[in-house]
Structure 1
Amino acid sequence: MKRVMTKGSGDLDKLNGSGWDILAEEVSLPVAVVRQQAITHNAHWMAQFTQVSGALLAPHGKTTMSPALFGLQIAHGAWAITVATVAQLSVAVAAKVQRVILANQLVGVYHFKQVANMLRDTDVELYCFVDSIDNAQALGAFFSTCSVRLSILLEVGVMGGRAGWRDLKTLGELAEACQVYPYLNIAGIGFYEGVIHGDDAKEQIQQFVDAVMKTAKRLQQQGVFSEALPIISGAGSAWYDVVASTFNQSPYAEQFQLVLRPGCYLIHDTGIYQDAQHAVLSRSQLACDIGDSLQSSLSIWAYVLSTPEPNMIIVGLGKRDVAFDAGMPTSELMYSVHAKQLREINGALKVEKIMDQHALVSVQSECEVVVGDMICFSTSHPCLTFDKWREIGVVEQDWVITHTISTYF
């Protein structure tokens, strides 16, 4: 099939020259863009946080699935990239990422073969999670048979949470099941604290991380770990400060290496992760001392398609284009194509309902909107906006897209 127009695209010769000027209508809308200054700032901010925390950073690649952004994070000091599936792992390996954490269970013979081939054919350093004796036995038998060494992290979890061995007191049983196989190296312990909720979530997470540290020390004394400095890896984008501070307060901290795995910080948002970052700043003096908090970098521009009723407009933005699972997009700017005027609207247009290709938006009476106007929205939960785009524009100033980045979901 000959090349067809895709959403968020324009003339390639124009892109390679002066770029696509969104406000001059040189690109198909809706279009998703990130601000270069903001993502660079965010990469630097988290690099500073992990450095002063004494942690290593393995940002979760599932947020963007963009090799270009993996490269940006590594250039800013990321020790590894985290992924959740073998397909995501293959993208990271193809992008020449040297170290990857598969923060999930590796299950299935086809996946075993793919991972074994990657380990044989490339220099990638891989760690994957194991949380059951059945999985340990399956991995051990396969990788020992093909003589490929696999590094694993024993995953622990909490009741009612996600994956992870539930009883820390009996984690030694899982370790023993792994130690039967000479090609399984137990490199440390992994967890995800983001499934812990409630009014006392902070205290629960502190208690959980402290218990993990005590368990890790016990296993270390038993000679379980293959590493001189075993890995303790946790922390999504909401509680990384609590995980880091609790780890550092442990009397065993110097005997382990903390690896943090936040993902959404690079793109950030004006919704759930803005709220989470505000909570971080309210808890952590270390985070406050870094200065200039994380910035929302992602915007979606869309046209006003219809004004069918007073105080209601229809915008060409839908579930195919933007996240809606954790809050609706927020209107930030409006550009009048006729008046050539860009102005802030700060939520004066409110998304009330979102459909596949349309957003139903209420309009405050003082806000005048006509068909053809362009609305800029910020988002909540960047992961579920990024996965709707194969190409995302990068803007440096004046809403001109200078280049695009590819995603591989």
Structure 2
Amino acid sequence: MAELDRERIDHRFKGLPPDAEGLTLGELAAQRRSLFDGGFTTPVLVLSEEALDHNLGLLERYTAEHGLVFAPHGKTSMAPRLFARQLAHGAWGITVAVPHQARVAHAFGVRRIFLANEVVDPAALRWIGRQLDADPDFTLLCYVDSVRGVTLMDEALRAAGTRRPLDVVIELGAGEQARTGVRTEAECLALAEAVAAVPSLRLVGVAGYEGEVPDADPERVHAWLRRLVALAADLDAAGRFADTQEIVISAGGSAWFDAVADVFAEIPELSAPVMKLLRSGAYLTHDDDHYRRITPFNRVPAEGHLEPAFRLWAQVLSRPTPTQAFLNAGKRDAPYDLGLPHPVAVRSARDGSVRDPSPGFAVTKLSDQHAWLSVPAAEPLEVGDWVALGLSHPCTTFDKWPLIPVARADGTATSFVRTFF
């Protein structure tokens, strides 16, 4: 984190004050500038300090109470400062999706990485092998879902001279129309034999992603999770985990972690202790649309609630007609793959007062650098006013912003989150 604080501010980082150029991020954070009169330019994406604290604490409590080990999916943010906060709140490690993301996490000191994907790239496997051999305390697990993949991994690791075996988990596919993963239990058993036949790999568990269950509902998701647990028990009975001191069973996106908690509580006693590994990542920032609608806390409200942490502040550039206005934020700034942004607050350029948008005030379209607003004719929106947009889908928000201020509710910027995509 000290290294991140020493990075110099320049033209690479949109939204930051032009007069802060040359300062380090740590120096700018120490100035406690206001988003609204401290020189920040629009559009500017902001993370709420209070919402982050709330969400971090909630999932720390939830996973502890349900006996789950937590490795939140870091590909959501690719932000080492947020990795550090998650680890400080009890996370076992960080989940990533591709080897580049593993390299970023490792470079910033993450010692336990769950790579929730197949890896067959020889260059990536050489890098993984070097890290495993160089650091006996470094842990990395990844998926396998084919005999061909096992062969490619073994060839690459042996060619690199890797001495320490790479831990792998068999990925069980979530259905015929799902993404990656083995489709049948018989194929899983054959794959386990293939892993056992090569010295470069060690089978330590099973995993998958219940969010890919076709036509997902509680009954179908619970049924697939029970298949995953039964697969682990079958492999254990066949002696396939004899070389590991802990059996990994992992699932858990951000839509069904309540089902994961339910089913993982039913895991029978196996030949070794079980690591019940949850990987939900979108909880950290939540959102104002997609994840707000699908959060498990909607189904079990007694467990708590998550807070949206993102606000994209943009300015009104034009109001060419009484019912139309344009903001200076567009596709380059806001996600739009799961839903358009929507206005949640308006800040007057005249007096700094903040109010709720009028009913019918909405974003109807995004251009590259403009948000199209539909506004009621009586809405007192003026050119120069600031509009806060709530966003949908954090996974495609972070990748648009290499540097994001973290601010308190009063607008004071307290730190900066650097992303690496």
TM-score range, shorter chain: over 0.9
- What SS does the aligned partner of 2:262 have? helix
Shift in Å at residue 378 of structure 1?
A: 1.1
1:251-330 mapped onto 2 (5 Å cutoff): 251-252=268-269, 256-277=274-295, 280-284=296-300, 288-291=301-304, 293-330=305-342
TM-score normalised per structure 1:
0.93
Query: In the aligned structure 2, how far is the partner of 1:213 from the partner of 1:16?
Result: 47
RMSD: 1.9
- What SS does the aligned partner of 1:322 have? coil
- What SS does the aligned partner of 2:413 have? strand
Query: In the aligned structure 1, how far is the partner of 2:31 from the partner of 2:366?
Result: 34
Amino acid at match of 1:28: T
Q: Is residue 217 of structure 2 the alignment partner of residue 210 of structure 1?
A: no
Aligned with residue 142 of structure 2, among 107, 124, 128: 128
2:11 matched to which residue of 1?
4
Query: In the aligned structure 2, how far is the partner of 1:364 from the partner of 1:8?
Result: 29
Query: In the aligned structure 2, how far is the partner of 1:395 from the partner of 1:92?
Result: 24
2:203 matched to which residue of 1?
186
Count the aligned residue pairs. 401
Query: In the aligned structure 1, how far is the partner of 2:120 from the partner of 2:274?
Result: 28
Contact 1:213 1:252 in 2 (8 A): no
Contact 1:23 1:337 in 2 (8 A): no
CA distance 1:16–1:203, change in 2 (3 Å): closer
2:416 matched to which residue of 1?
404
Query: In the aligned structure 2, how far is the partner of 1:3 from the partner of 1:69?
Result: 22
Amino acid at match of 2:172: V
- What SS does the aligned partner of 2:37 have? coil
CA distance 1:353–1:218, change in 2 (3 Å): same
Query: In the aligned structure 2, how far is the partner of 1:383 from the partner of 1:84?
Result: 12
Structure 1 vs Structure 2: percent identity of aligned residues?
A: 33
Contact 1:141 1:181 in 2 (8 A): no
- What SS does the aligned partner of 2:284 have? coil
Aligned with residue 138 of structure 1, among 139, 152, 164: 152
CA distance 1:48–1:3, change in 2 (3 Å): closer
- What SS does the aligned partner of 1:333 have? strand
2:118 matched to which residue of 1?
105
CA distance 1:353–1:119, change in 2 (3 Å): same
- What SS does the aligned partner of 1:313 have? strand
- What SS does the aligned partner of 1:20 have? coil
Contact 1:330 1:347 in 2 (8 A): no
> Which stretch of structure 1 is more off in the superposition, 85-94 or 179-188?
179-188
Deviation string, structure 1 residues 300-348 (Cα, Å, up to 9, x no partner): 0011011112211010010100111111111111111113322122765
2:4 matched to which residue of 1?
none
2:376 matched to which residue of 1?
364
Deviation string, structure 1 residues 103-126 (Cα, Å, up to 9, x no partner): 001111111112112223344210
Deviation string, structure 1 residues 170-193 (Cα, Å, up to 9, x no partner): 311000011111221111001001
Query: In the aligned structure 2, how far is the partner of 1:25 from the partner of 1:344?
Result: 23
Contact 1:331 1:347 in 2 (8 A): no
Query: In the aligned structure 2, how far is the partner of 1:362 from the partner of 1:25?
Result: 30
Aligned with residue 150 of structure 1, among 157, 166, 169: 166
1:31 matched to which residue of 2?
44
CA distance 1:338–1:56, change in 2 (3 Å): same
Amino acid at match of 1:256: V
Amino acid at match of 1:345: P
Q: Is residue 63 of structure 2 the alignment partner of residue 46 of structure 1?
A: no
Shift in Å at residue 149 of structure 1?
A: 1.6
- What SS does the aligned partner of 2:397 have? helix
Shift in Å at residue 142 of structure 1?
A: 2.7
Query: In the aligned structure 2, how far is the partner of 1:237 from the partner of 1:5?
Result: 32
1:386 matched to which residue of 2?
398
1:221 matched to which residue of 2?
237
Query: In the aligned structure 2, how far is the partner of 1:148 from the partner of 1:228?
Result: 16
1:79 matched to which residue of 2?
92
Contact 2:358 2:376 in 1 (8 A): no
- What SS does the aligned partner of 1:387 have? helix
TM-score normalised per structure 2:
0.91
Deviation string, structure 1 residues 283-310 (Cα, Å, up to 9, x no partner): 33xxx4443x110011100110111122
2:6 matched to which residue of 1?
none
Query: In the aligned structure 2, how far is the partner of 1:213 from the partner of 1:6?
Result: 46
Query: In the aligned structure 2, how far is the partner of 1:172 from the partner of 1:347?
Result: 57
